Chains A and B, each alone.
Chain A
Amino acid sequence: MTFNSLSYFLFLPVVYLVFYFTADCWRWLVLLTASYGFYATFKAPYLLAILLMVTGISYTCGLCIAAQQDEAIRKRWLWIGIFVCVAILVLLKYLPFLESHTNRIFGLNNAISVTIIIIGVSYFTFQAISYMADIYLEIEEPEHHFGRFALYMAFFPKLLQGPIERAGDLLPQLKQPYQFNYDAMRSGMLLFTWGLFKKVVVADRLALYADQVYNHVHDYTGLSLIIGTYAYALQIYFDFSAYTDMARGTGRMFGINLTENFNSPYLATSIADFWRRWHISFSRWILDYIFKPLQLGWRNWGQAGTALALIITFLVSGIWHGATWGFVVWGLLHGIYLATSTYYRPYQKLLHKWLRIDKSKWLKWWQVFVTFNLVCVAFIFFRAKTLNDAIYVVLHMFIGIYSYIQKMLVGIVGLEIANVRGLLRQLLIDQPQSEFITLIFFLLVLCVTSQLKKRIYIYDTPIWYRWSAYYLLFIFISFFGTFNSITKFVYLQF
């Protein structure tokens, strides 16, 4: 059951009604049962067993760490907990990789990994590690109530693909008594619907272009490859931020505020800024539990220590996404972008000051453009099916661009409509023109809405305005949403 399925639209109100009519002291049990039930719909009983195992281990280790005064024993419990969590994650994630290699070496024909799904495992494992590390660092107290702790690990809105919640942020909220709040319910429902709109109307439409290009890369060159890459960059953002909106919207209905995962990442002015705005709960996690310990340990190496810590952190992030060279290159590219920036950034700032352009709006937009394109180059390796496909895209994306623009201009100036149409078809990547116009229209709707949201608080507007917006959103989802085949969210696979 995913957030954009009919079964979830039925599941959510039923769970809420049971939750609402249950006494406060048992509400955690309602949410925990609902969360395990939600996870069970993936028809993989081992997933529930793994969730229970990680929950039990992190709960026990948390209590053992807190109970000990001896630093060496505390550290031992922390490492036991981390080792078990990482071992479970690595084994599940790299089973297909290990299986294909052992099959090849020993001439076997095993196919266990084909049936294995790992939805959600990464996210609750990361949460378990952060919980144990925070207790070890004495930032958090351990949770003694096993039921509430299990709910912290399994709370269904964030179970499948985050946000990765810190114990200090989520556990206190799960302990608070629930009181119906009309504003929270209304804004939660609107946020959920807004997320649904972004997923089924925008992200799934962008996927048509990205999938067409990346499933048949050798059929395309030049502009089509660039359009396909930009379409993927937008698709993955709208898909993932849609999921986060739906998760946060659901959480809000139950009086829980989950972490915001995105803050206009494609308006970042540098790669470091991008990582402060993209998948925020994950980037905070890798920063606090991988980068900082490495960087502080290597602090006597100066800038080289920081650069190396950045490269290793993002390499780990790439490997976490999957056992393919594409993900490794994606992680390495981000590591290299950030590592090199630690060297040139001070000089870049001085140069901008010397040229007196440091406060220029043009400079800011230029930086946004460059950052977005650097991110897109890395996404080529993330999305392409194989490393060879990715290399093909990089080598062929600028082929014929000049002649394309030239032909287009000649066609327009010389009113050679047939010529322009032919070229447009290439631009549209074999999709109908109407589809392209619809997509552009909805991207404009998103741009206008994001600007309006900065100036107008929707609940302060007159009732006719508000309800027109609600109806419009409903119409857009009903008539332009992709419901004929329920598509999965991109990040569910990680």
Chain B
Amino acid sequence: MTTIEALNQIFCMVFDDDTLQITPDMTANDVDGWDSLSHVNLITTLEAKFNIHFTRKELLKQRNVGDLIADIHRKLAAYA
């Protein structure tokens, strides 16, 4: 399973929507129920699944799913 497929699966689980297909330019406005509370659930789930830790600055900088994917790839490469 690729990182994006795994990420998609987490999105489906957190937002309780099996039809969700993430795209790099997707933002919180495009997903029903993506509010500040579910965002925290998403981040903590991602951190547990990929065994990574985002800094506060990285999280505040992210503007869309593309930024999130880039940060995950960068962290996984650094940990490898």
Give A residues with C-beta under 8 Å from B. Answer: 136-139, 272, 287-288, 291-293, 295-297, 299-300, 302-303, 305-306, 342
Contacts and interface: CB of A to CB of B under 8 A. Distances in A.
Contact of A306 (B40, B59, B60): B40
Nearest to B43: A299
B58 to A, nearest CB: 10
Nearest to B54: A296
Contact of B36 (A138, A139, A292, A297): A292
A135 B11 CA distance: 30
Give chain B's interface secondary structure class.
Answer: helix
A300 B57 CA distance: 16
A135 to B, nearest CB: 12
Given A137-B61, A139-B61, A296-B43, A303 B37 contact: yes
A288 B59 CA distance: 11
B36 A291 contact: yes
B64 interface: no
Given A295-B36, A305-B40, 8 more contacts: A136-B57, A137-B61, A287-B36, A292-B36, A293-B56, A299-B40, A306-B36, A342-B37
B59 A296 contact: yes
B44 interface: yes
Interface string B41-52: 001100000000
Interface residues of B, number: 12
Interface in B5-46: 35-37, 40, 43-44
A296 B61 contact: no
A302 B63 CA distance: 22
A342 B40 CA distance: 12
B60 A296 contact: yes
A138 to B, nearest CB: 6
Given A299-B43, A300-B44, A137 B36 contact: no
B10 to A, nearest CB: 15
Contacts of A300: 44
